[in-house]
Amino acid sequence: MLGLWQASPKGYTVAAGYDWLRVVAPKVPWRHLCWNVMNVPRTSFIFWACQHRKLLTLDRLQKRGIVQATTCFICGIAPENHEHLFSLCEYSRRCMELMQQKIHIRFVDANMVTWFSKARTKSRLQRVVAGACYVGLLAGIWQVRNHARLYHQVNAPRVLVNQVWRNIKERLMQRNRRMLSTIDQQWIDSIV
Protein backbone atom coordinates (compact mmCIF):
# COMPACT_ATOMS: atom_id res chain seq x y z
CA MET A 1 0.00 0.00 0.00
CA LEU A 2 2.89 2.34 0.63
CA GLY A 3 3.84 2.24 -3.06
CA LEU A 4 0.44 3.63 -4.03
CA TRP A 5 1.07 6.90 -2.17
CA GLN A 6 4.64 7.22 -3.35
CA ALA A 7 3.31 7.77 -6.90
CA SER A 8 1.55 10.93 -5.75
CA PRO A 9 3.69 14.10 -5.80
CA LYS A 10 2.18 15.22 -2.46
CA GLY A 11 2.52 11.85 -0.78
CA TYR A 12 -0.29 10.71 1.46
CA THR A 13 -3.15 13.09 2.24
CA VAL A 14 -6.35 12.34 4.14
CA ALA A 15 -8.43 13.44 1.13
CA ALA A 16 -6.53 11.08 -1.19
CA GLY A 17 -6.93 8.24 1.33
CA TYR A 18 -10.64 8.89 1.64
CA ASP A 19 -11.09 8.98 -2.15
CA TRP A 20 -9.19 5.69 -2.42
CA LEU A 21 -11.42 3.99 0.18
CA ARG A 22 -14.72 5.44 -1.03
CA VAL A 23 -16.80 3.41 -3.43
CA VAL A 24 -17.41 5.44 -6.54
CA ALA A 25 -20.95 4.85 -7.76
CA PRO A 26 -22.89 6.65 -10.46
CA LYS A 27 -25.25 9.32 -9.19
CA VAL A 28 -28.89 8.34 -9.55
CA PRO A 29 -31.08 10.87 -11.37
CA TRP A 30 -33.73 10.93 -8.62
CA ARG A 31 -31.43 11.79 -5.70
CA HIS A 32 -32.50 15.46 -5.51
CA LEU A 33 -36.15 14.45 -5.65
CA CYS A 34 -35.68 11.92 -2.86
CA TRP A 35 -33.50 13.93 -0.48
CA ASN A 36 -35.38 17.18 -1.00
CA VAL A 37 -35.28 19.69 1.89
CA MET A 38 -39.10 19.89 1.91
CA ASN A 39 -39.54 16.13 2.36
CA VAL A 40 -40.22 14.54 5.70
CA PRO A 41 -37.46 11.92 6.20
CA ARG A 42 -40.03 9.11 6.46
CA THR A 43 -41.40 9.96 3.00
CA SER A 44 -37.90 10.17 1.55
CA PHE A 45 -37.13 6.69 2.83
CA ILE A 46 -40.34 5.23 1.39
CA PHE A 47 -39.60 6.93 -1.95
CA TRP A 48 -36.05 5.54 -1.87
CA ALA A 49 -37.38 2.03 -1.19
CA CYS A 50 -39.93 2.45 -3.98
CA GLN A 51 -37.24 3.49 -6.47
CA HIS A 52 -35.22 0.40 -5.57
CA ARG A 53 -38.35 -1.82 -5.73
CA LYS A 54 -37.80 -2.83 -2.09
CA LEU A 55 -41.32 -2.26 -0.74
CA LEU A 56 -43.06 -5.52 0.12
CA THR A 57 -45.82 -5.41 -2.45
CA LEU A 58 -47.98 -8.49 -2.94
CA ASP A 59 -46.10 -9.67 -6.03
CA ARG A 60 -42.86 -9.76 -4.02
CA LEU A 61 -44.57 -11.50 -1.10
CA GLN A 62 -45.99 -14.09 -3.49
CA LYS A 63 -42.52 -14.81 -4.89
CA ARG A 64 -41.38 -15.49 -1.31
CA GLY A 65 -44.30 -17.84 -0.75
CA ILE A 66 -45.91 -15.69 1.95
CA VAL A 67 -49.22 -14.87 0.21
CA GLN A 68 -51.24 -16.44 -2.60
CA ALA A 69 -53.55 -13.60 -3.69
CA THR A 70 -51.97 -10.58 -5.34
CA THR A 71 -55.01 -8.38 -5.97
CA CYS A 72 -54.46 -4.73 -5.08
CA PHE A 73 -55.90 -3.85 -1.68
CA ILE A 74 -56.90 -0.37 -2.84
CA CYS A 75 -58.71 -0.98 -6.14
CA GLY A 76 -59.32 -4.74 -5.87
CA ILE A 77 -58.91 -5.17 -9.62
CA ALA A 78 -55.32 -5.61 -10.78
CA PRO A 79 -52.34 -7.48 -9.33
CA GLU A 80 -50.37 -5.33 -6.91
CA ASN A 81 -46.81 -4.43 -7.87
CA HIS A 82 -44.80 -1.21 -7.76
CA GLU A 83 -45.92 -0.02 -11.21
CA HIS A 84 -49.59 -0.67 -10.52
CA LEU A 85 -49.66 0.72 -7.00
CA PHE A 86 -47.85 3.99 -7.70
CA SER A 87 -48.82 4.87 -11.27
CA LEU A 88 -51.46 2.59 -12.82
CA CYS A 89 -53.96 2.21 -9.96
CA GLU A 90 -56.97 4.49 -10.40
CA TYR A 91 -56.55 5.69 -6.79
CA SER A 92 -52.96 6.86 -7.30
CA ARG A 93 -53.83 8.48 -10.62
CA ARG A 94 -56.66 10.41 -8.99
CA CYS A 95 -54.36 11.51 -6.15
CA MET A 96 -51.80 12.83 -8.66
CA GLU A 97 -54.50 14.73 -10.57
CA LEU A 98 -55.88 16.31 -7.40
CA MET A 99 -52.43 17.34 -6.19
CA GLN A 100 -51.60 18.93 -9.53
CA GLN A 101 -54.86 20.87 -9.42
CA LYS A 102 -54.20 21.94 -5.84
CA ILE A 103 -50.68 23.31 -6.36
CA HIS A 104 -51.34 24.63 -9.90
CA ILE A 105 -48.35 22.79 -11.32
CA ARG A 106 -48.63 20.13 -14.01
CA PHE A 107 -46.10 17.33 -13.72
CA VAL A 108 -46.03 13.99 -15.45
CA ASP A 109 -45.99 11.05 -13.04
CA ALA A 110 -43.97 8.75 -15.29
CA ASN A 111 -41.32 11.40 -15.97
CA MET A 112 -41.26 13.14 -12.60
CA VAL A 113 -37.52 12.65 -12.19
CA THR A 114 -36.87 14.25 -15.59
CA TRP A 115 -39.39 17.02 -14.94
CA PHE A 116 -37.86 17.82 -11.56
CA SER A 117 -34.36 18.19 -12.96
CA LYS A 118 -35.26 20.06 -16.17
CA ALA A 119 -38.36 22.16 -15.44
CA ARG A 120 -37.17 25.73 -15.72
CA THR A 121 -40.54 27.41 -16.18
CA LYS A 122 -41.30 27.40 -12.45
CA SER A 123 -39.24 28.89 -9.66
CA ARG A 124 -36.87 26.66 -7.75
CA LEU A 125 -39.16 26.73 -4.72
CA GLN A 126 -42.12 25.63 -6.82
CA ARG A 127 -40.13 22.73 -8.26
CA VAL A 128 -38.95 21.70 -4.78
CA VAL A 129 -42.49 21.86 -3.40
CA ALA A 130 -43.89 19.94 -6.40
CA GLY A 131 -41.22 17.27 -5.86
CA ALA A 132 -42.08 17.06 -2.17
CA CYS A 133 -45.77 16.71 -3.07
CA TYR A 134 -44.95 13.85 -5.44
CA VAL A 135 -42.76 12.04 -2.89
CA GLY A 136 -45.32 12.67 -0.15
CA LEU A 137 -48.09 11.23 -2.31
CA LEU A 138 -46.12 8.06 -3.02
CA ALA A 139 -45.49 7.59 0.68
CA GLY A 140 -49.13 8.39 1.42
CA ILE A 141 -50.34 5.86 -1.14
CA TRP A 142 -48.14 3.24 0.53
CA GLN A 143 -49.68 4.12 3.90
CA VAL A 144 -53.21 3.98 2.43
CA ARG A 145 -52.37 0.56 0.99
CA ASN A 146 -51.22 -0.69 4.38
CA HIS A 147 -54.29 0.77 6.08
CA ALA A 148 -56.52 -0.93 3.49
CA ARG A 149 -54.72 -4.22 4.10
CA LEU A 150 -55.24 -4.03 7.87
CA TYR A 151 -58.63 -2.33 8.22
CA HIS A 152 -60.28 -2.85 4.79
CA GLN A 153 -60.87 0.90 4.47
CA VAL A 154 -59.56 3.31 1.87
CA ASN A 155 -59.58 7.06 2.46
CA ALA A 156 -60.79 9.27 -0.35
CA PRO A 157 -57.99 10.63 -2.58
CA ARG A 158 -58.88 14.19 -1.57
CA VAL A 159 -58.21 13.32 2.09
CA LEU A 160 -54.74 12.02 1.25
CA VAL A 161 -53.92 15.02 -0.94
CA ASN A 162 -54.98 17.48 1.78
CA GLN A 163 -52.97 15.57 4.40
CA VAL A 164 -49.82 15.59 2.24
CA TRP A 165 -50.26 19.29 1.47
CA ARG A 166 -50.70 20.16 5.18
CA ASN A 167 -47.41 18.41 6.01
CA ILE A 168 -45.55 20.21 3.24
CA LYS A 169 -47.13 23.57 4.05
CA GLU A 170 -46.02 23.22 7.69
CA ARG A 171 -42.44 22.71 6.52
CA LEU A 172 -42.82 25.58 4.08
CA MET A 173 -44.07 27.95 6.78
CA GLN A 174 -41.01 27.12 8.91
CA ARG A 175 -38.86 28.73 6.24
CA ASN A 176 -38.18 32.44 6.39
CA ARG A 177 -41.04 33.97 4.41
CA ARG A 178 -39.11 37.20 3.85
CA MET A 179 -36.64 35.29 1.68
CA LEU A 180 -39.41 34.15 -0.68
CA SER A 181 -40.02 36.06 -3.85
CA THR A 182 -43.32 37.86 -4.34
CA ILE A 183 -44.33 35.33 -6.99
CA ASP A 184 -43.63 32.43 -4.63
CA GLN A 185 -45.58 34.06 -1.81
CA GLN A 186 -48.55 34.66 -4.11
CA TRP A 187 -48.35 31.07 -5.32
CA ILE A 188 -48.33 29.70 -1.74
CA ASP A 189 -51.23 31.96 -0.77
CA SER A 190 -53.23 30.81 -3.80
CA ILE A 191 -53.16 27.17 -2.67
CA VAL A 192 -56.17 26.39 -0.54
pLDDT at 8: 60
Cα separation of 79 and 59, whole Å?
7
pLDDT at 103: 92
Looking at the predicted structure, is the pLDDT value of residue 14 above 60?
A: yes
Looking at the predicted structure, is the pLDDT value of residue 107 above 70?
A: yes
Residue 6 lies in a domain: no
Looking at the predicted structure, is the pLDDT value of residue 83 above 60?
A: yes
Residue 167 lies in a domain: yes
DSSP letter assigned to residue 79: B
Residue 16 lies in a domain: no
Looking at the predicted structure, is the pLDDT value of residue 17 above 90?
A: no
Contact indicator for 115, 108 with CB cutoff of 8 Å = yes
pLDDT at 49: 96
Residue 166 lies in a domain: yes
| Tally of domains within the chain | 1
Residue 71 lies in a domain: yes
**What DSSP string describes 142-167?**
HHHHHHHHHHS----HHHHHHHHHHH
Q: What is the pTM of this model?
A: 0.85
Amino acid at 21: L
**Among candidate residues 45, 50, 36, 35, the one with its CA nearest the CA of residue 87:** 50
Residue 42 lies in a domain: yes
pLDDT at 5: 56
Residue 5 lies in a domain: no
Q: Note down the domain range covering 148.
A: 27-190
Residue 2 lies in a domain: no
